[in-house]
Amino acid sequence: KAGVTQTPRYLIKTRGQQVTLSCSPISGHRSVSWYQQTPGQGLQFLFEYFSETQRNKGNFPGRFSGRQFSNSRSEMNVSTLELGDSALYLCASSAGGLNTEAFFGQGTRLTVV
């Protein structure tokens, strides 16, 4: 069974640009969550989608957005990039119930210069 796939693995962008990250969950999983990991702030929740609906959103500015498609694949977009957006972005998939195990991808390392 294939795991969670995140693409691309690495990205370098310039301040002011926008970026789209992709996540393909484990087959059969309908929930996808996104987290930002930085040395200073640790792991912070961005948002969670289930069957194309956002069920929860963390405390990030509106520049951060996401969506989920009918095949459960998800994308997150960051517009008007800032240096502080440099981070490892992790995607997790699960069956979708409360407290079900979350399986993480290897992440996308975004560097903003």
Partner 1 sequence: GDSVTQMEGPVTLSEEAFLTINCTYTATGYPSLFWYVQYPGEGLQLLLKATKADDKGSNKGFEATYRKETTSFHLEKGSVQVSDSAVYFCALSDNSNYQLIWGAGTKLIIKP
Closest separation between CB of residue 73 and partner 1, Å? 17
Output 17 or 111, the one with its CB closest to partner 1.
111
Whole-angstrom CA distances from 40 to 31, 46, 48, 76, 77 are 27, 16, 23, 22, 22
Output 1 or 101, the one with its CB closest to partner 1.
101
Cα 95 from Cα 38, distance rounded (Å): 27
Closest separation between CB of residue 16 and partner 1, Å? 29
Output 12 or 15, the one with its CB closest to partner 1.
12
The set of residues, in sequence order, having a beta carbon less than 8 Å from that of 42 and lying 6+ positions away, is none
Tokens of 4: 């969670």
C-alpha of 29 from chain center? 15
Closest separation between CB of residue 96 and partner 1, Å? 8
- Chain positions contacting partner 1, by CB under 8 A: 4, 31, 33, 35, 42-45, 48, 50, 55-56, 58, 90, 92, 98-99, 101-107
Output 48 or 85, the one with its CB closest to partner 1.
48
The set of residues, in sequence order, having a beta carbon less than 8 Å from that of 98 and lying 6+ positions away, is none
